[in-house]
Structure 1
């Protein structure tokens, strides 16, 4: 079966811009019970990888350590297009779905670099501050190496 080209594909640059600017992504891992486990995460996109941080223990980290295959999704809702017929109501949006392999970052320098990027994105007023050593030890940083990425949009006017 031949794949059909989607009408509203984001370019690579548009997709990367979405990854660099959106504040929340959704991480899907495979749970111990075999069901998908989805978690919203704050993240940064740099060097072609997605990074996020969190506690060094918990369900998402245990899932990643057992099976590093993940799916990551982001979207930007721009507006709703209301219609007199509720079935014709639509959304102007951009989104991306990323497949990849996740692993915990072990190197201290890479870990601190990611934490610096997260601080710069979410709390730039704290740039340049030192991290307490005990907090760095209790924090896991995860890198998702992107294996595929699909971006799409709907402009509202066809």
Structure 2
């Protein structure tokens, strides 16, 4: 990382991953072309859990070719136009994306994150959509975090 003064680690990375509303999944296809898509996710037990339509779509086509992925979460941001800058926090992780070994647990974790007030209805929804739903895990190999949380004055 070029700006070591902005590097974050440990609990700060965990916090950003836990509170993030969505992440951007990047894959590469057999044609060598990159592909990125925003997705809902949950960070649980050191893993990224994702859901999608079962067995269809470009991201799944790409990971069947190459399971190496990059996942980016951007936390809080504040644009500071008068300072020509932005306050931000972000996490980038790379790793392998594979089908979940426990689809039910992953879906419940997603339900608890996004719809915790509707768990009973959510469980019914999970059962109704079970065959149409794919669940995947990203096993991180490298995680980096970066933040700029205080404003610097412009030297212009």
- Output the TM-score relative to the length of structure 1: 0.87
**Corresponding residue to 1:11 among 9, 12, 18:** 9
Q: Deviations over 1:79-129 (max 9, x none)?
A: 11122xxxx510110001101000112x4xx11111011111111122143
The question of whether the paired residues in 2 share the 8 Å contact of 1:65 and 1:103 is answered with no
Deviation, structure 1 residue 5? 6.1
Question: 1:68-107 residue pairs with structure 2 within 5 A?
Answer: 68-83=67-82, 89-105=84-100, 107=101
For residues 49 and 104 of structure 2, what CA distance do their matches in structure 1 show? 12
* Larger proportion of helix: 2
The question of whether the paired residues in 1 share the 8 Å contact of 2:9 and 2:144 is answered with no
For residues 46 and 75 of structure 2, what CA distance do their matches in structure 1 show? 20
Aligned residues: 149
The question of whether the paired residues in 2 share the 8 Å contact of 1:97 and 1:150 is answered with yes
What is the alpha-carbon root mean square deviation over aligned residues? 1.7
Match of 1:50 in 2: 48
For residues 13 and 47 of structure 1, what CA distance do their matches in structure 2 show? 13
The question of whether the paired residues in 2 share the 8 Å contact of 1:101 and 1:145 is answered with yes
Q: Deviations over 1:54-86 (max 9, x none)?
A: 001111011112110000001124311122xxx
For residues 14 and 124 of structure 1, what CA distance do their matches in structure 2 show? 24
The question of whether the paired residues in 2 share the 8 Å contact of 1:77 and 1:91 is answered with no
SS of structure 2 residue aligned to 1:157: coil
Between 1:30-39 and 1:144-153, the stretch displaced more is 30-39
- Output the TM-score relative to the length of structure 2: 0.88
Which stretches in structure 1 are left out of the alignment for 5+ residues?
A: none
